[in-house]
Amino acid sequence: MADHERINDISHPFNGDRFNGERFWPLDDGVSMEGCPDCDLAIAHFLRGLELDLRLISLDLWTAGWAPAELLAEVRQAAGCAEASTLMAQVLLVDDSYRSEQARSSAWRDEIDALRSRTGISDVAPGWLTGWMVEQSSARQASACLKAVVTVLGDLVDPTAA
């Protein structure tokens, strides 16, 4: 099966537990979704699964001691795309929305509250990643940035995998 055909195979929308360069991305070069309802459905499933993965990675990094501001700075620099800042801010705010008040330290709460005020991001409901993708000026650039951010986050969670 050619790479560009994998979008129609629901068994391949996301290679799950490892963050590596071999994972298929629905908006990679050579993938056409024009007039393809199955493609749209596969991409929607891919993005919803990726939302959960991003939230869980954020939790892992929080548990490992990363503060929101330092995580934002690291991802922005390592991903090398302008959209990384807004994407990472969104990830942190979504992750925070699932935490209890008891789990939020005062330092974490202060940084997240400042981030929320600075960015104005309020959408933390499922489907937020699709909204982020739509807001970007280029779907291809958004996909490339998303891929870069996920790769950076995967490397931060498991530096030995790089």
- Tens place of pLDDT per residue across the chain (162 aa): 343 343 334 444 343 443 444 444 555 555 555 667 777 777 778 888 899 999 999 989 988 889 999 999 999 999 999 899 999 999 999 999 988 888 888 888 999 999 999 999 988 889 899 889 888 888 888 989 999 999 999 999 877 765
Cα–Cα distance measured from residue 16 to residue 63, given in angstroms and rounded to the nearest whole number: 21
12 is written with which tokens?
């391949």
Closest CA to 83 of 9, 15, 143: 143
Give me the residue spans of the domains in the chain: 36-161
Q: pTM for the full model?
A: 0.74
